[in-house]
Structure formats: structure tokens, C-alpha cells
Structure 1
Amino acid sequence: MSRKHPIIAVTGSSGAGTTTVKRTFDNIFRREGITAAMIEGDAFHRYTRVEMKERIERADREGLPVSHFGPEANEWSRLEQQFRAYGSEGRCQTRHYLHNQEEAAAYGQAPGTFTPWQDTPVDTDLLFYEGLHGCVKTAEVDIARHVDLKIGVVPIINLEWIQKLHRDTRDRGYSKEAVADTILRRMHDYVHYICPQFGETDINFQRVPVVDTSNPFIARDIPTAGESMTVIRFKNPRGIDFPYLLSMIGDSFMSRANTIVVPGGKMDLAMQLILTPMILRLVEIGRVQHA
């Protein structure tokens, strides 16, 4: 952690909705005049798409689990190194993973490849990470300790699978069978490397549908925000003004002493109310340290 160069990480598994949450942060940064350096978690995958396909085929023959959720397919040491560098110097390196033809065309590369490594901009107020592994902690790495504000995005697992199925079949051209195979292949790493991160996070936002999601593989639609509730859990509720939040967010209620539940359609409002003062506090401390 760094008082001078703060780091915020939004962590969730594939299909959890971290990209949507990133838009909320973008709005906060723009409104409050905050300049953020950005890191995408996919930038720290170890393999290109072709290389990963070959590695999975080899792992299947060997009977070993390999997935983008686990250590073999990711550069966690390098990610920790970048967090450490930003906390110390206010700059680090990142790159982009090009998911589709549209993204790749802008760089003149093939989809499923990486852009070259490059330095983040100078004079940024904070580093913002969005991806799978912003709070990973293992015997070899401790990425979580470098992060000043850790946010988990954790829909219940059937909803997560529905969102992933719709995204990967609609936007990335995969079949339902291929997505189901990916979910099964990732389960070991999901349990050992994704879930434990949500014990490290400061705040978890968990969307819970109030419609039937019993069989995610036949769901025709993703449950809408209006068909969901969002459970917001604070690791340390000290200093959180729950009466204010309850008064500002209609139909919200407390389910535990550290947990508030809000209508799904008001998740963005809740995030704005909760996170804006936290972000401003981090930035103000950083600017004071610079002065």
C-alpha cells in the first residue's frame, strides 16, 4: 500500500460484471477530476490465444487443470512488480490483450495477441486495476497487500455463468458447449484462486437475481437490474454512514451489521455514494504527500 501513489483494484471472475463496474469508476474519475492510470487484468495473461489453446490441449492429454484463473496461465509476479513500482514511483508498465477483430484492427495485430509493454502516463492520481487477480495472495505472491482499496464484484455463481454464456456466445463467437467446457475446466482454479480473493476485499458487491436461474445453460436472457438485488458487504464497517445510505437509496435495508442490500437498479447509485468519498480521501492523501 502507498499513501503517495494509491492503488484501487476491482476483482471478479469472468462474467462477473467488472467491466460494468469500471464504467462507474470512470464516471467518478471524470466528475471529480481524477487522473487514473489503468491496468487490465488480461494484460497479465501468460499466453496468446493460440498458445493458450495449445497449452490446454496438452494439459487435457496430461489430465491437468489449466485455466486463465490459475497461476500457470498468468504473470502474477509481474503484476505484483507493477503494483509495487506504481506504489513507489507513481508509474509502472502495462499492455492490452486484444479480444476481438475490432480491438486488434486498431493495432494492426491478430485477435488474441498482446500489444507491446508501455509505461503508464506521468502525473496520475492513482492506479486503477480491473480484472481477475487484483487481490491474489499465494505462497509466491501477495498482490493484495499493495492495494489501498479492494473491491470484489461477485454475482451468485449461476448468474455469473449466465452472463458469461451470453457474452461469450454473442460477442466472442463461442458455442454454448465450448463455454460450458471452459467453466468446468476453470472450476479447480476458481475455488483455489478466485474465491479466496473475496476474503481480502474491503467491499464486495454481490448481485442476486430474484428470478429463476436454476439452469444457467438454458437461460434465454440475463436477469435485468430490476430483477435483482445487490448485497454490499463491508469488511470493516467502521466509519460507514449506514443511516445516510439507507435514506439515499430507496427500498434498501440492512441484513447484517456490515451488510446493506439495495435494489439491483440502484447499484450504480450505491457505488457512487459509497466509493466517491473513499476515492477522494485516497487522492487527497496522495496529493498531500506530494506537496
Structure 2
Amino acid sequence: MSKRHPIIAVTGSSGAGTTTTGRIFSRIFASEGIRAARVSGDSFHRYTRDQMTVLAEKGRYGQRNHFSLDANHVDRLEGLFYDYSVSGSGQYRTYVHDEDLHLIRQGYEPGTFTPWAPLPSDTDLLFYEGLHGGIVSEHYNLAQYVDLLIGVVPIVNLEWMQKIYRDTNERGYSQEAVVKTIINRMDAYVTDIVPQFSHTHVNFQRVPMVDTSNPFVVREVPNDDESLIVIRFRDHRDIDFPYLLQMIPNSHMSRHDTLVIPGTKLPLAMDLIVRPMVLELMAHKQFA
């Protein structure tokens, strides 16, 4: 961790909702005048889309199994976290998605990467959003560099539903292909993704209040009105629970470290919880 060069990481699997969480952070950064160097976990995939297809045909990683640590430059991501914590700089790149039209117009092919380049200079903090921001393993320890680690973790049936809906409606994949990807990623999900949520400072877990017992046949993802958000704090002694209960209608505590809120109140709750944490990082930065 670094008081002068803080790092915030939002970690969660594909379809979990890290992108939505990233937008909430963006609004906080904009309103507080914070200059964030933004890095996506996709940028640290080891292989292009075509290379992953070839490897899958050879029996490696399965179909689009970017959950696996071996399929990613986790060493370079850890190097970025270290470099930024020390000097406020580091190397990153961008993975080109099908919807990244501004990069495609520049001549980059979807499923490839832009060249490695230095982070923008003179930033206040590093903001990471992706799969592996909280990795602690035999060979890596990224969590040690992260000043604020947020987990976004729908219960698994809902996570699958959100991924199926996104990848079929927004990315053009067939449901059969998406389900196959989910199955191929299961081992890496258990060994590489889930353990991170024991290292997070705060977890936001969406729980549906409707039947999702067979996520592969349900056609509609439960909306905010049909969900609750379970929020677990690692350092619960630092949290003003009476204030949060007063400010968030229909919220309650289920354990000494856990707040439960209506799904519609996630943006409000995240702002009330996260904004003070971000401002505290900025205050420590001023006096470092």
C-alpha cells in the first residue's frame, strides 16, 4: 500500500457487474476532482482472441477461459501495482472489444491489444477493474498493494444469468457458446476468482428475490426491484452503521459486519460507503 500513490481495485468475474461499479467510481472521481489512471483487467490477458481459440482447440484453457492465472500476465499486473505504489507510474495497454469503435477506427482489430505504454502522468490514484485485482497465491500477492479492494459478487446463478444476457444480447454469442464458456471456466473460477473475496475490504453481493434455480432457461435477469444487496465489511469497526441505516431506506443488518439493502439503493449505498474511503485516501496522500 502507498499513501502517496493509492490503488483502488474492483474485482469480480465476467458478468458480475464490475463495469457498473466502475461507473459509480467514475462519478465520484469526477465530482471530487480526482484524476484516476484507469486500467482494465482485460488488458492483461496473455493471448489475443484468435490465439485463445487456437489454444482451446489444443485443449488448453478451454473456450475463452481468461479466469485462469496462466492465461493472464498476472506478473505484469503485479508489477504495475508495485510500480504505481512506489512512483505513481507503470505500464499498461488496452484490450480491444467489439464495441470499442474508437480503437477500431484507429486500425486495431477486435480481440487484440494496443501496445504497452506508460500510464498518464500526474494522476491521483490508480483504478483497476477486472478479474484479478485481489489475487493472493503461491506466486503472486496483488492484494498487498491495494489500498481499497472492492468485490462485486452476485450469487452464482445470478452471475451466470447476467453473463448469458450480456454476451448474447450485447456481444452476439449464442447461448450455447456462453454456457460452454461458463463450464470451461469453472475450475479457474473456484481456484483463482472466488478466493479473492476473502481479501476484499468491502463485498457487494446481489441476491435475487425471484426464482433463479435454473439460470439457463430464465430469459429475464432479475431487476433492481427484485434483488437485495448484501454488503460485508472487513473492517466493520470503522463503519458507521447507524448512519447508513438512517440514510438507506429499508436497510437492515444481518450480522455485525453485514448490511442488507434494497437492490435499487446500490448507487446510493456505494456512494455513502465508498466516497468517504476515497476521500480518506486523498487526505493521506496530501500529508504523505
Superposition TM-score, scaled by structure 2 size: 0.97
Query: Which amino acid is 1:77 matched to?
Result: D
Q: What does residue 39 of structure 2 align with? A: 39
After TM superposition, give the deviation of residue 105 of structure 1 in Å.
1.7
> Hey, what's the Cα distance between the residues in 1 that align with 2:165 and 2:144?
34
Query: Is residue 137 from structure 1 mapped to residue 169 from structure 2 by the alignment?
Result: no
Q: What does residue 86 of structure 2 align with? A: 88
C-alpha contact (below 8 Å) 2:5/2:88 kept by paired residues: yes
Q: What does residue 20 of structure 2 align with? A: 20
Deviations 1:64-87 (A, max 9, x none): 898211122100000000000000
C-alpha contact (below 8 Å) 1:159/1:216 kept by paired residues: yes
Query: Which amino acid is 1:214 matched to?
Result: S
Q: What does residue 201 of structure 1 align with? A: 200
> Hey, what's the Cα distance between the residues in 2 that align with 1:256 and 1:101?
41
After TM superposition, give the deviation of residue 171 of structure 1 in Å.
1.3
> Hey, what's the Cα distance between the residues in 2 that align with 1:113 and 1:57?
19
After TM superposition, give the deviation of residue 101 of structure 1 in Å.
5.3
Query: Which amino acid is 2:138 matched to?
Result: A
Q: What does residue 55 of structure 2 align with? A: 55
Query: Which amino acid is 1:8 matched to?
Result: I
Q: What does residue 97 of structure 1 align with? A: 95
Q: What does residue 110 of structure 1 align with? A: 109
After TM superposition, give the deviation of residue 94 of structure 1 in Å.
1.1
Q: How many residues align?
A: 287
> Hey, what's the Cα distance between the residues in 2 that align with 1:64 and 1:53?
9
After TM superposition, give the deviation of residue 17 of structure 1 in Å.
0.3
Q: CA RMSD in A?
A: 1.4
SS in 1 for 2:219: coil
C-alpha contact (below 8 Å) 1:152/1:205 kept by paired residues: yes
After TM superposition, give the deviation of residue 106 of structure 1 in Å.
3.3
Query: Which amino acid is 2:72 matched to?
Result: N
Q: What does residue 216 of structure 2 align with? A: 217
C-alpha contact (below 8 Å) 2:202/2:234 kept by paired residues: yes
Percent sequence identity over matched residues? 55
C-alpha contact (below 8 Å) 2:42/2:130 kept by paired residues: yes
After TM superposition, give the deviation of residue 287 of structure 1 in Å.
2.1
Alignment of 1:1-291 (within 5 A): 1-59=1-59, 67-100=65-98, 102-103=100-101, 104-289=103-288
Gaps of 5+ in 1: none
Deviations 1:239-286 (A, max 9, x none): 200000000000000000000000000001000000001000001111
After TM superposition, give the deviation of residue 186 of structure 1 in Å.
0.3
C-alpha contact (below 8 Å) 1:18/1:153 kept by paired residues: yes
Query: Which amino acid is 1:119 matched to?
Result: P
C-alpha contact (below 8 Å) 1:101/1:110 kept by paired residues: no
Gaps of 5+ in 2: none
SS in 2 for 1:275: helix
> Hey, what's the Cα distance between the residues in 1 that align with 2:66 and 2:100?
22
C-alpha contact (below 8 Å) 2:53/2:64 kept by paired residues: no
SS in 1 for 2:9: strand
> Hey, what's the Cα distance between the residues in 2 that align with 1:117 and 1:65?
25
Task: Give the stretch that moved more between structures: 246-255 or 208-217.
Answer: 208-217
SS in 1 for 2:123: coil
SS in 2 for 1:114: coil
SS in 1 for 2:69: coil
Deviations 1:47-104 (A, max 9, x none): 00000111111126xx989821112210000000000000000011111111105434
Structure 1 residues 66 and 223: alpha-carbon distance in aligned structure 2, compared to 1, 3 A threshold: closer
C-alpha contact (below 8 Å) 1:65/1:188 kept by paired residues: no
Structure 1 residues 148 and 38: alpha-carbon distance in aligned structure 2, compared to 1, 3 A threshold: same
Query: Which amino acid is 2:273 matched to?
Result: I
